[in-house]
Structure 1
Amino acid sequence: MSAPLLSVRGLRKAYGKSVVLNDLDLDVAEHTCTVLIGSSGSGKSTLLRCLNLLEVVDDGVIELDGVDITDPRVEVNRIRAKVGIVFQAFNLFPHLSVLDNVALAPRRVHGVARRQAEDDARAMLDRVGLAAKAGARPDELSGGQQQRVAIARALVNRPRLMLFDEVTSALDPELVAEVLTLIGELKNEGMTMVVATHEMGFARKIAEQVCFLDGGRVLESGTAEQVFGAPRAERTRQFLGRIEEAGRL
């Protein structure tokens, strides 16, 4: 059996006395989608930020392709080029065109020449269906289009791993489907992904692995069929029961 692309062992992160991640373990196989579910405050977003090195971990090891990326000697920008992340807030620069938003990091952070960066950005905008919007400003786009630009920006470095943090939470309901469809297409193309979401129907459809986080740990993990259909832990059953009562399962 091949080693996982991503391996997390004993991950701990605290803010003062508040422990958000507590001895968390996680493995993600290459070309698979892992979905993180759990209540607000369970540690999903903090975990994703640690995986992208936006947070400094207090303890534990994160390995990507067998390399310890929590080693303080690693070059952070090189790791972030390999681990793309998209948030629920689009975080686009309003004064820049769509094309410039996507090309900015390759040029400024990774030293890619302007023409190459713009060519790569145009290709990625075409991939997400927004080639015609290259010259537009973010405020001229719908929320769904802005989120697809944010995804293009994360994909332009051709990362080994993509992280999605509640990327539909800020969208109007009618715009959710276009973003989820794009994520589904990336999964079908073999992109390795970790997705935190409250969209349980989407999670059941897309995930090879579902991880239920509670108290900063992966309390239960398994296939979508197992976790949603026959959860082992009582806490998982309680969580999914409330989701089902709300009509979201």
Structure 2
Amino acid sequence: MPVLACRGLRKEFGGQVVLDGLDLTVAEHQVVALIGASGSGKSTLLRCVNLLEELDDGVIELDGTDVSAPGVDPDLVRRRIGIVFQSYNLFPHLSVLDNITLAPRRVHRRPRAEAEVQARELLDRVGLAARADAYPDRLSGGQQQRVAIVRALANSPRLMLLDEVTSALDPELVGEVLTMIRELKADGMTMVLATHEMGFAREVADQVCFLDGGRVVEAGPPARVFGEPTEARTRQFLRRIIDAGRL
């Protein structure tokens, strides 16, 4: 049974179709990279999976359970899905430690001491143990994004969604975040990531999905999608990427 199964997802904004009957399946421990031009539906797809946007049609299943059905409590679903955006969304008035432990304490009702032990262990793994008591404005962009990912991991998610998590970073800081994602893959985390980092998608993904017009136009192993794409629209997109020196 796949961890995530999306069937026939449709979403419109003001009459504009953003997702147009999209299908996607993600197996356990799999890393799926979503690529495509801006406006192709990548971010909307992730927001729909996390129930931040309401579908117009289609079904989203998490471990075989329809989480898009009427009456489903979205907060219960979000406890099992971690999502990280390109903007860090850290609370500026809270320390790194308090940012990370807020949801485990308030939502999952974990004792503060237990939540803080876990948070410090996660921070140590990503090289930020010494920054536990710092506030977000004292961190670099790369450090803030790593804290945002740790905050999502602190809830022990079944699935991680990463939405262009390096787009807001200076080029020299991108590597810090990509290294962390590589480590999550090595740990077996199931992930769906929308990215413009084509080289990274080629390296880390088990499957690459090219989105265009709100549909998955082409999907397959990175070597095939990047090396021998079968769809004309995929070839056109990758040609532009190569001409721009991004692959």
Q: CA deviation at 1:127?
A: 2.4
Q: Distance in 2 between matches of 1:145 and 1:18?
A: 37
Measure how far apart 1:76 and its partner are: 1.8
1:205 corresponds to: 203
Residues 1:26 and 2:27 aligned together: no
Question: What corresponds to 1:231 in structure 2?
Answer: 229
Alignment of 1:87-166 (within 5 A): 87-166=85-164
Match of 2:215 among 207, 214, 217: 217
- Indicate the percent of aligned positions where both proteins have the same amino acid: 70
**1:61 aligned onto 2:59:** yes
Match of 1:171, SS?
coil
**Greater shift after overlay, 155-164 or 117-126?**
117-126
RMSD, aligned α-carbons: 0.9
Cα 1:106/1:221, change in 2 over 3 Å: same
Q: Which residue of 1 aligns with 2:182?
A: 184
Assess if the C-alpha contact under 8 Å between 1:77 and 1:109 holds in 2: no
Shift of 1:91: 0.4
Residues of 2 paired with 1:236 and 1:153: CA distance? 35
Instruction: Determine the C-alpha separation between the residues in 1 that align with 2:153 and 2:65.
Output: 21
The answer for unaligned runs of 5 or more in structure 1 is: none
Q: Which residue of 2 is the match for residue 14 of structure 1?
A: 12
- Deviation, structure 1 residue 72: 2.6
Deviations 1:134-186 (A, max 9, x none): 10000101110000000000000111111110000000100000100100110
Number of aligned positions between the proteins: 247
Looking at structure 1, the residues matched to 12 and 102 of structure 2 have their Cα atoms a distance apart, in angstroms, of 32
Q: Deviations over 1:220-243 (max 9, x none)?
A: 101101100011110000000000
Structure 1, 68-77 or 154-163: larger mean CA deviation: 68-77
CA deviation after TM superposition for structure 1 residue 123, in Å: 2.0
Number of the residue aligned with 2:37 = 39
Partners in 2 of 1:22 and 1:68 — Cα distance?
19
Q: Return the offset for 1:188.
A: 1.0
What is the TM-score with the length of structure 2 in the denominator? 0.98
TM-score norm. by structure 1 comes to 0.97
**1:50: which partner in 2?**
48
Q: How does 1:65-80 map to 2 (within 5 A)?
A: 65-80=63-78
In structure 2, stretches of 5+ residues that fail to align are none
Would you say the 8 A contact 1:165–1:195 is kept in 2?
yes
Q: Which moved more, 1:112-121 or 1:53-62?
A: 112-121
Q: Deviations over 1:58-101 (max 9, x none)?
A: 11000010011102322222211211011100000111000000
Rounded to whole Å, the distance in 2 between the matches of 1:76 and 1:127 is 30
Measure, in 1, the Cα distance between the counterparts of 2:127 and 2:216: 35
Whole-Å Cα distance in 2 between the matches of residues 14 and 22 of structure 1?
9
Tell me, in whole angstroms, the C-alpha distance in 2 between the residues paired with 1:5 and 1:96.
33
Q: Distance in 1 between matches of 2:32 and 2:60?
A: 16
Task: Give the whole-Å Cα distance in 2 for the aligned partners of 1:14 and 1:112.
Answer: 39
SS at match of 2:79: helix
Find the residue that maps to 1:41 and give its secondary structure.
Answer: coil
Task: Using the TM superposition, give the Cα deviation of residue 112 of structure 1 relative to its aligned residue in structure 2, in angstroms.
Answer: 2.1
